[in-house]
C-alpha cells in the first residue's frame, strides 16, 4: 500500500530512467560532461529547464554542476515551477510530507510547510502536484549534487511577480537555502526563430528586467518573481547554458528552448552584509 504522506514519482520511466542504477549513470555522465559558458561562485539561486533528460538534461547539468561546492552547505531547497496540468490561484503546496524518486525520498520542510499556510495565496492541494513534472525532474539532480536537504515545493499558478518575490523573500535565509526556479523557454518555434527569441529573453533576464510572458518562458511568473528579489538583494545573473531541443536530441522543425542561469551574490553585496 502506498504511503499517503509521500508523493510517488510520477514521470520516472518517461522524463528520466526509473531504474536507479541507470538513472545514477545518466546523471553522472551529464554532470561530468557539463561545460558551462563561464565559471561562477556558488549560486544562491538557479533557473533550470524541466524537459525529459535526453532533451534538457545537458543544459540543466551545467547549473547543477555549479552547486558542487554547496554539498555540505545547502540544507533546504525552495523549488518553484509552473503548473502544467491544473489551474491554480496563487501557489499550490502539497499535503504530502515527502517526495519520492528512484534515488530515495526527500522530506518537506515541516516548519515552512506550516508557515506558508498562513498566506492567503497558498493552498494545500496534492492534485496539482500529482502528475506535475516540472519540480520532480529537478529532484534526482539535487539528490546527486547535494547532501541531505529538506524541500519547499511550490507550484505557481495565477500570481503576480511581487507575490512570488514575497514568498521568496520569506524563505530566502542564508547560504543553507538554495532557490531553484524550473522553467523552459520558447515552445515549438522553428530552430532559428527560437534561437532569436530565446536570446532576447536571456538578455532580459541578465538585465534583471521582469515582465516576461508565457510565450517567452513557461515559468515566466516564478522567473519574474526571482528577478525582482535578485535585484533587491544584489544578485548577479550568469548564463551557464542556452540551447534548445534541436541542439540536444530533437528535430529542428519545432523546438523547445532551455537555459541554465546562476544568480550569485556579488563581492560588494557580501561585504555590505557583513556590516
Q: Is residue 266 part of a domain?
A: no
Phi, psi of 183 (to 5 degrees): -160, 135
Q: Is residue 37 part of a domain?
A: yes
Q: Is residue 5 part of a domain?
A: no
- Cα 109 to Cα 274: distance, rounded to the nearest angstrom: 28
pLDDT of residue 266: 85
Block residue for cell numbers 518575490: 165
User: Ramachandran region of residue 237, left (φ > 0), alpha (ψ -120 to 50) or beta?
Assistant: beta
- Cα 3 to Cα 11: distance, rounded to the nearest angstrom: 18
Residues 142-159: tens digit of each pLDDT:
999 999 999 999 999 999
Residues 212-267: tens digit of each pLDDT:
999 999 999 999 999 999 999 999 999 999 999 999 997 999 999 999 999 999 86
Residue from 189, 239, 227, 182 nearest 49 by CA: 182
What value does the mean pLDDT of the chain take? 95
Q: Is residue 69 part of a domain?
A: yes
Pairing of strands 150-156, 91-93: antiparallel
- Cα 78 to Cα 73: distance, rounded to the nearest angstrom: 14
* Percent of the chain scoring above 90 in pLDDT: 93
Q: What is the pTM of this model?
A: 0.95
Residue from 110, 168, 156 nearest 129 by CA: 156
| Residues forming a β-bridge with 124 | 93
Q: Which residues contact 247 (CB under 8 A, 6 or more apart)?
A: none
Q: Is residue 11 part of a domain?
A: no
Q: Is residue 264 part of a domain?
A: no
- Cα 77 to Cα 75: distance, rounded to the nearest angstrom: 7
Q: What domain range is 203 assigned to?
A: 30-127+138-255
Stretch 108-125: mean pLDDT? 97
Block residue for cell numbers 555549479: 66
Q: In 3-state terms, what secondary structure has residue 58?
A: helix
Lowest mean pLDDT across 55-59, 169-173, 216-220, 270-274:
270-274
* Residue 111 belongs to domain with CATH number: 3.40.830.10
Q: In 3-state terms, what secondary structure has residue 77?
A: strand
C-alpha cell at 192: 532559428
Q: Is residue 102 part of a domain?
A: yes
Pairing of strands 98-101, 6-7: parallel
DSSP secondary structure code for residue 9 in this structure: P
- Cα 59 to Cα 198: distance, rounded to the nearest angstrom: 14
Q: Is residue 24 part of a domain?
A: no
Question: Looking at the chain, how many residues does it have?
Answer: 275
Residues 122-143: tens digit of each pLDDT:
999 999 999 999 999 999 999 9
Pairing of strands 122-124, 91-93: parallel
| Count of domains forming the chain | 1
Amino acid at each position: 500500500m502506498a504511503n499517503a504522506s509521500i508523493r510517488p514519482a510520477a514521470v520516472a520511466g518517461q522524463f528520466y530512467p526509473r531504474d536507479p542504477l541507470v538513472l545514477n549513470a545518466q546523471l553522472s555522465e551529464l554532470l561530468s560532461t557539463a561545460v558551462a559558458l563561464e565559471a561562477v561562485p556558488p549560486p544562491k539561486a538557479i533557473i533550470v529547464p524541466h524537459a525529459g533528460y535526453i532533451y534538457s538534461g545537458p543544459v540543466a547539468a551545467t547549473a547543477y554542476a555549479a552547486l558542487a561546492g554547496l554539498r555540505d552547505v545547502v540544507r533546504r531547497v525552495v523549488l518553484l515551477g509552473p503548473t502544467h496540468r491544473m489551474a491554480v490561484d496563487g501557489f499550490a503546496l502539497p499535503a504530502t510530507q515527502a517526495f519520492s524518486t528512484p534515488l530515495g525520498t526527500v522530506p518537506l520542510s515541516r516548519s515552512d510547510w506550516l508557515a506558508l499556510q498562513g498566506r492567503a495565496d497558498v493552498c494545500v492541494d496534492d492534485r496539482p502536484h500529482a502528475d506535475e513534472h516540472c519540480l520532480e525532474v529537478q529532484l534526482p539532480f539535487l539528490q546527486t549534487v547535494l547532501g541531505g536537504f529538506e524541500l519547499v515545493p511550490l507550484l505557481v499558478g495565477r500570481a503576480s511577480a511581487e507575490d512570488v518575490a514575497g514568498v521568496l523573500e520569506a524563505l530566502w535565509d542564508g547560504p543553507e537555502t538554495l532557490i531553484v526556479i524550473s522553467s523552459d523557454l520558447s515552445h515549438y518555434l522553428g530552430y532559428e526563430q527560437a534561437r532569436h527569441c530565446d536570446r532576447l529573453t536571456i538578455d532580459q533576464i541578465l538585465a534583471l528586467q521582469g515582465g516576461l510572458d508565457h510565450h517567452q518562458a513557461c515559468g515566466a511568473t516564478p522567473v519574474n518573481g526571482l528577478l525582482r528579489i535578485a535585484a533587491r538583494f544584489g544578485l548577479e545573473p550568469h548564463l551557464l547554458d542556452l540551447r534548445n531541443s534541436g541542439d540536444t536530441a530533437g528535430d529542428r522543425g519545432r523546438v523547445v528552448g532551455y537555459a541554465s542561469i546562476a544568480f550569485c551574490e556579488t563581492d560588494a553585496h557580501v561585504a555590505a552584509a557583513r556590516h
